[in-house]
Amino acid sequence: MRPINLTDYEALAKRRLTPLAWAFYSTGSDDEVTLRANVSAFARLRLRLHTLVDVSVSDLTTTLLKAPVSMPIGVAPTAGHCLAHPEGECATARAAGEAGTLMIAATEATRRLEDIAQAATGPLWFQLYVYRTRALAESLVRRAEEAGYRALVLTVDAPVWSRRERTLRCPDDWPADLPAANIADQSELDYPTSLTWRDLAWLRSLTALPLVLKGLLTAEDARLAVEHGVEAIAVSNHGGRQLDGAPAAIEALPEVAAAVEGRCEVYLDGGIRRGADVLKALALGARAVFVGRPVLYGLAVDGAEGARHILEILRDELALAMTLTGTPTLAAIGPNLVRPA
Amino acid sequence: MRPINLTDYEALAKRRLTPLAWAFYSTGSDDEVTLRANVSAFARLRLRLHTLVDVSVSDLTTTLLKAPVSMPIGVAPTAGHCLAHPEGECATARAAGEAGTLMIAATEATRRLEDIAQAATGPLWFQLYVYRTRALAESLVRRAEEAGYRALVLTVDAPVWSRRERTLRCPDDWPADLPAANIADQSELDYPTSLTWRDLAWLRSLTALPLVLKGLLTAEDARLAVEHGVEAIAVSNHGGRQLDGAPAAIEALPEVAAAVEGRCEVYLDGGIRRGADVLKALALGARAVFVGRPVLYGLAVDGAEGARHILEILRDELALAMTLTGTPTLAAIGPNLVRPA
Amino acid sequence: MRPINLTDYEALAKRRLTPLAWAFYSTGSDDEVTLRANVSAFARLRLRLHTLVDVSVSDLTTTLLKAPVSMPIGVAPTAGHCLAHPEGECATARAAGEAGTLMIAATEATRRLEDIAQAATGPLWFQLYVYRTRALAESLVRRAEEAGYRALVLTVDAPVWSRRERTLRCPDDWPADLPAANIADQSELDYPTSLTWRDLAWLRSLTALPLVLKGLLTAEDARLAVEHGVEAIAVSNHGGRQLDGAPAAIEALPEVAAAVEGRCEVYLDGGIRRGADVLKALALGARAVFVGRPVLYGLAVDGAEGARHILEILRDELALAMTLTGTPTLAAIGPNLVRPA
Amino acid sequence: MRPINLTDYEALAKRRLTPLAWAFYSTGSDDEVTLRANVSAFARLRLRLHTLVDVSVSDLTTTLLKAPVSMPIGVAPTAGHCLAHPEGECATARAAGEAGTLMIAATEATRRLEDIAQAATGPLWFQLYVYRTRALAESLVRRAEEAGYRALVLTVDAPVWSRRERTLRCPDDWPADLPAANIADQSELDYPTSLTWRDLAWLRSLTALPLVLKGLLTAEDARLAVEHGVEAIAVSNHGGRQLDGAPAAIEALPEVAAAVEGRCEVYLDGGIRRGADVLKALALGARAVFVGRPVLYGLAVDGAEGARHILEILRDELALAMTLTGTPTLAAIGPNLVRPA
């Protein structure tokens, strides 16, 4: 049957993907408590709808670090899109552009960042990992800048890799013909480097691109990020793939938003499966959300068209939820829209 | 086996109805979180019964906007009764009258509102949707007034239609011979109109009938409703069929009742399956409750007789619960009757 | 296998009893929410054990309205013991006496109250229902007094009978040869009478026996009971067989105990399945607990011996729990023994 | 498949162990509420990770009553290791030593305490039960002292044995050739003795070894322990094997840690299945945790090597969790690391 929501796509993708690809995409770390909490925590929030409001004009457009987008929903950085479709990240970038929104391309993409940039029609940001050799990071930043990426998204929750047991249990190896396309020496992948707040100065020295810190979950870290002048924070637990036991993204959002007090942009990723989830995140202080696994599942089912459909479904659902709650514009969305169940 | 409670009727109806009819009646929107919460939220409330009270005289009679009814339980507006039984809304109206209570006939009824009025023996209210053309609404109001309907129930939670996925997945089409009988141009059905608080004046200008707003869930909206002089508010989330993620009706009732402070009548619909549920709603501030799906299931199982039986079961259960809690009259019911589990 | 706990007995009894007897004993009213809550609410309480206390001398003896008993656990009044065993209530009374505790015989016993008294070796109380004719109540009270019953236990939560659906669904009729042995005119059984606080004076005028009110669940009613001079209150929801939605017995106990302030004895029945449950009830203010269904299941499995075994299991479990919590005497048990999970 | 976490080992061990051994190791008391709560209570806590911290140097070493250990994880005392492996406690002691940590040998070990000491390469403590004859306790203390055990761990939550129903239902008897190797007269095993706070002076008079009280769960008892000068407290409910209904270990830890105020060391055992559980316990005030059943399961699967692997898995998981939370040293771990879900 034709998929009509993100869960349909997930079920279809599970059938199409190789066991390794399914394990790699779907796994969380350890007991997957945080993976499940990301989704289930949204269900504990209720939307306090308002009626008899003029909802004839609905407007989802916004800007993300000044880049105009058609909706407050972007594509989160995820690795290995070629596991889902031969065109890999290039197809995803095209899908994002067609949906009028931006994509964050991952360092560990299976297509070269330059090729992704060439395929893209919308704005791109570059997610950066720093590995063993800083020269690699510098090279990646320069390449991203030259290829037209408009921001750096530094992932800060992976000083080491966690254990993702579904992947460990999968007998298959990563396909040899699908290397991390942006990294010449694949052994670098084994050595994420622990950066500190002080290292942000080094990163700033390399580029004038705005900086997004991805993976913050506490008020303390949010305040530090603001003090260090970052342009945006992405509240994220790495899709439940790093520290199992970390708070669900939507659980952590309120304390981060309260600490930031509007001094930088705040995003959220993790657990978004419905437009109403997006609305809850916006109500609790996010400027936008990013979506990871569902886009991959769309890609697996129907290539760029599937990924685009995922984004369009979310857009339609968000627009519907905004209309039904009497908040047809993003400016109308506020914290009183949400209450605990 | 002979059905003895509302759940029995639901199981029987599922077997009797066509797949389309079952999908149409039973569906909620999206993940049906609100649909389930409507029912389950009642189970989290306990009834603090009082003993050694004189319960020899039990009285369930009340008035709803001055219309005397035999009990604080009416028939909620629902569409398409002819899917359940050939006599459709006419049978339901007869059932309500036999049970001594009132029915709210829906704009999207499959029998003409004049025919329903003719079949009815009890008081009728008319549920109004405003579609693309206001002339249609004006015509419906005039017809309802002439046919003897005593109040207008304006549904305010449907500026657009939500997605009800069980219906979308049902391969069958709506039977061509069962049109919305009150609407000449069926294409109107696709275009509910977004009304605003200001439009209430237009509606008032059409008729002197009292006005009920159905679909409010917050204190803010309740205060606005009172300020706009409405005669009653029906706390409702459209049976979990509009915004998925909206609060359960019984969750929203306390804040609405507190905001209204007795300045208009307050009703509730959504999730009522037992007389004890009715009692909990009355204790938390509702003057009456309205019942939707269960009446349709009664209609499907046994026509007017089944719908009447549903209402009688609820009446008996409510009377029993009132006796067992030591509140044999509606006046005796107060907030101290309820506590969280 | 030899049963080692109360749950084992329940499973065995289910196999031995006729479908009608099982339905009659095991049913609650309506959706059985309160029936289940009676048991599950105990699991939400934790016991704060104290160590390195002298527990060499353990003492479970107490008095119930001055009657000495070997433990704070008695037999709750339940109807129809002959459904479980030919000797019926006579066997139960013998079991209670052998366990050194008291039994509350029910008005609706299937053995005559005089026969029960003759079989008993321990103290007996008489549970009283008042039906249509007060003369019947007067006769029952006189007979109980003459037969040596030491207290009246007036059930106050049954002004009418609730609906117990498992019984309604059972195709079998109550065996014609098992009438309520204490009532000449069986049609009386259909008409429980609604008593009021004022009627207690009438009851007092019939007898000097101490009076226990069974079925109170609120602080308000507890205060009224004390003001009316009753000797004891049994916190009870009739084993989940009257008002479905009533609080679990252990949920209601704290407010009743706080309102009574020691001015009369307080008991609890409903949901006791383990000695630790007894201890939790004592910690929250009960002087003793009464056990209904488990005793019937013991009776069904092994007659008087089975009923006695049930009481001995509970005694052993309670003694063990008291030792392990460092409260080897009833006097040592206090509210700080319990905390929420 | 090669086991990669503690749950894998449990599943493998269940297949390898005799029914009696499985029942004996896995059982809790009564309904096993506390057994399950020990594990599930950890899942209700979230870890508030901190990012961009220097985690390049990770240090898990600590001391337990001055004994240096490689990590804050030791082997809890459990009985009957020869049920799992012929080498029994000697293999476990070797595993602990190889993992660089300490083992608490149990009085009811199936290998002589002197043999365990000879096999051990790491520090040992001796868990003491006092039975019917105090002479036996005195002899055990002397032997432990002479064999080089460095502390006494007095179990205080077993003045009597509880009922462990899975063991009771197991048809097999304890193997006659596996006696409690440290006790000449096996009938002593049936008579644990109730000690009191006053008896600690007697125990102190026998030895200069530091004293750990194992089985405290409340602030009151913790304060008494400090006043009596004990060197350490182990928050424990005996692995859910004594009082069913006792708080989960991690539920009880905060009140104990708050009462102790650093005046003695505080440990925890019960429910540890992941490194993140260890981290939660450390954050809430434990200096170290001890692990019981998982070590036995490792022993059952692969002897000393399996037990060592269990400890190494926990070490790796703890190190990973410390790195991912930005607390690479034990000193960095504090209460703000944890929040409720």
The reported pLDDT for the residue numbered A191 is 87
The reported pLDDT for the residue numbered C124 is 98
Q: Could C30 and B274 be called an inter-chain contact, meaning their C-beta atoms sit closer than 8 Å?
A: yes
Give the residue from A328, A316, A327, A332 showing the smallest Cα distance to A73: A316
Nearest to D165 among C5, C43, C324 (CB): C5
Q: Could C156 and B56 be called an inter-chain contact, meaning their C-beta atoms sit closer than 8 Å?
A: no
Catalytic residue flag (residue A238): yes
Q: Could A51 and B213 be called an inter-chain contact, meaning their C-beta atoms sit closer than 8 Å?
A: yes
Give the residue from B71, B53, B313 showing the smallest Cα distance to C160: B53
Q: Which residue has the higher pLDDT, A1 or C225?
A: C225
Give tens-digit pLDDT for C80-129.
999 999 999 999 999 999 999 999 999 999 999 999 999 999 999 999 99
Which of A29, A167, A194, A196 is the best mutation test for D, with the most CBs of D within 10 A?
Answer: A194
CA distances from C53 to A252, B119, D199 (A): 45, 78, 10
Q: Could B274 and C244 be called an inter-chain contact, meaning their C-beta atoms sit closer than 8 Å?
A: yes
Q: Average pLDDT of B12-32?
A: 98
Give the residue from B264, B275, B294 showing the smallest Cα distance to B333: B275
The reported pLDDT for the residue numbered B194 is 81
Instruction: Share the mean pLDDT of chain C.
Output: 97
HSE-up (13 A, CA, CB side) for residue C126: 30
Q: How confident is the model at residue D193 (pLDDT cuts 50, 70, 90)?
A: confident
Q: Please calculate the CA angle B278-B282-B285 and round it to the nearest 5 degrees.
A: 140
Q: Tell me how many residue pairs between chain A and chain B have CB atoms under 8 A apart.
A: 84
Q: Tell me how many residue pairs between chain B and chain C have CB atoms under 8 A apart.
A: 83
Q: Could A160 and D317 be called an inter-chain contact, meaning their C-beta atoms sit closer than 8 Å?
A: no
d(CA D231, CA D224): 12
Residues 6+ apart with CB under 8 A from A89: A81, A82, A105, A106, A109, A110, A111, A115, A116, A119
Nearest chain B Cα distance for residue C216, angstroms:
7
Nearest to B43 among C33, C169, C196 (CB): C33
d(CA C24, CA C41): 23
pTM higher than 0.95 = yes
Chains B and A touch (3+ CB pairs under 8 A): yes
d(CA C106, CA C122): 16
Q: Average pLDDT of A12-17?
A: 98
d(CA A182, CA A107): 7
C-beta of residue D291 within 8 angstroms of C-beta of residue D310: yes
d(CA C118, CA A127): 87
Nearest to D55 among A194, A199, A224 (CB): A194
Q: Could A274 and B213 be called an inter-chain contact, meaning their C-beta atoms sit closer than 8 Å?
A: no
Residue D1 pLDDT > 90: no
Give tens-digit pLDDT for D215-251.
999 999 999 999 999 999 999 999 999 999 999 999 9
Q: Could D52 and A163 be called an inter-chain contact, meaning their C-beta atoms sit closer than 8 Å?
A: no
Domain ranges of chain C: 6-47+68-328
Residue A1 pLDDT > 80: no
d(CA C247, CA C226): 21
Q: Which residues of C are catalytic?
A: 238
SS3 B161: coil
Which chain D residues touch C280 with a CB distance below 8 Å?
A: 245
Nearest chain B Cα distance for residue C301, angstroms:
31
Which chain A residues touch D5 with a CB distance below 8 Å?
A: 30, 165
Alpha-carbon torsion (D277, D278, D283, D288), positive or negative: positive
C-beta of residue C290 within 8 angstroms of C-beta of residue C127: no
SS3 B163: coil
HSE-up (13 A, CA, CB side) for residue B199: 15
SS3 A96: helix
Nearest chain D Cα distance for residue A23, angstroms:
16
Q: How confident is the model at residue A72 (pLDDT cuts 50, 70, 90)?
A: very high
Q: Which contiguous run of DSSP H or E holds residue A126?
A: strand A124-128
Give tens-digit pLDDT for C142-194.
999 999 999 999 999 999 999 999 999 999 999 999 999 999 999 999 888 88
Q: Average pLDDT of A115-139?
A: 97
d(CA B298, CA B94): 13
Q: Could D160 and C323 be called an inter-chain contact, meaning their C-beta atoms sit closer than 8 Å?
A: yes
The reported pLDDT for the residue numbered B142 is 98
Q: Amino acid letter at B254?
A: P
Q: Which contiguous run of DSSP H or E holds residue C137?
A: helix C134-147
Q: Could C276 and D243 be called an inter-chain contact, meaning their C-beta atoms sit closer than 8 Å?
A: yes
Instruction: Share the mean pLDDT of chain D.
Output: 97
Nearest residue on chain D to A41, alpha-carbon basis: D341
Distance of CA D79 to the CA centre of its chain: 11
d(CA D90, CA D84): 12
Select the CATH number that applies to the domain covering A6-333 from these four: 3.30.460.10, 3.90.320.10, 3.40.50.300, 3.20.20.70. Answer: 3.20.20.70
Which chain B residues touch C33 with a CB distance below 8 Å?
A: 43
Q: Average pLDDT of B75-85?
A: 98
Give tens-digit pLDDT for D304-320.
999 999 999 999 999 99
Give tens-digit pLDDT for C224-247.
999 999 999 999 999 999 999 999
Residue A193 pLDDT > 90: no
Chain C touched by B341 (CB under 8 Å):
yes
Q: Average pLDDT of A118-129?
A: 98
Q: Note which residues in 146-165 of chain D have CB less than 8 A from chain C.
A: 156-157, 159-160, 162-163, 165
Q: Average pLDDT of C200-212?
A: 97
Nearest to D324 among A197, A216, A242 (CB): A242
d(CA C109, CA C92): 11
Nearest residue on chain A to D276, alpha-carbon basis: A245
C-beta of residue D265 within 8 angstroms of C-beta of residue D231: yes
Q: What is the CATH T-level fold of the domain D6-331, as seen in this structure?
A: TIM Barrel (3.20.20)
d(CA A152, CA B217): 43
Q: Could A243 and D46 be called an inter-chain contact, meaning their C-beta atoms sit closer than 8 Å?
A: no
Which of B29, B161, B218, B226 is the best mutation test for A, with the most CBs of A within 10 A?
Answer: B218
The helix, strand and coil proportions of chain C, stated in percent and rounded to the nearest 5, come to 45, 15, 40
- C6-47+68-328 has which CATH code? 3.20.20.70
Q: Report the DSSP beta bridge partners of residue A290.
A: A74, A269
C-beta of residue D158 within 8 angstroms of C-beta of residue D215: yes
The reported pLDDT for the residue numbered A54 is 95
Could you give phi then psi for residue D340, rounded to 5 degrees?
A: -70, 155
Complex prediction ipTM = 0.97
Give tens-digit pLDDT for B181-233.
999 999 999 888 889 999 999 999 999 999 999 999 999 999 999 999 999 99
Q: Could C30 and B339 be called an inter-chain contact, meaning their C-beta atoms sit closer than 8 Å?
A: no
CA distances from D33 to D168, D181, D341 (A): 17, 32, 21
Chain C touched by B208 (CB under 8 Å):
no
Which chain C residues touch B339 with a CB distance below 8 Å?
A: 247
Pairing state between β C152-155 and C211-216: parallel
DSSP state at residue A59: B
Q: Which chains touch B (3 or more CB pairs under 8 A)?
A: A, C
The one catalytic residue among B50, B85, B228, B238: B238
Only one residue has tokens 């009626």, namely A51
Q: What are the start-end ranges of the H helices in B103-192? A: 113-119, 134-147, 165-169
Nearest chain A Cα distance for residue B31, angstroms:
9
The reported pLDDT for the residue numbered C193 is 82
Q: Average pLDDT of D12-28?
A: 98
The one catalytic residue among A50, A81, A228, A238: A238
C-beta of residue A9 within 8 angstroms of C-beta of residue A297: yes
Nearest to C165 among B5, B43, B45 (CB): B5
The reported pLDDT for the residue numbered C194 is 81
Q: How confident is the model at residue D32 (pLDDT cuts 50, 70, 90)?
A: very high
d(CA B6, CA B314): 8
Give the distance between the most distant pair of CA atoms in chain C. 60
The reported pLDDT for the residue numbered B52 is 97
Q: How confident is the model at residue D191 (pLDDT cuts 50, 70, 90)?
A: confident
The reported pLDDT for the residue numbered C288 is 98
The reported pLDDT for the residue numbered C48 is 97
Which chain A residues touch B247 with a CB distance below 8 Å?
A: 46-48, 339, 341
Nearest residue on chain B to A50, alpha-carbon basis: B221
Nearest residue on chain A to D341, alpha-carbon basis: A247
Q: Note which residues in 24-53 of chain B have CB less than 8 A from chain A.
A: 30-31, 33, 37
CA distances from C150 to C51, C122, D7 (A): 39, 11, 58
The one catalytic residue among D50, D85, D228, D238: D238
Superfamily of domain B6-46+69-327: Aldolase class I (3.20.20.70)
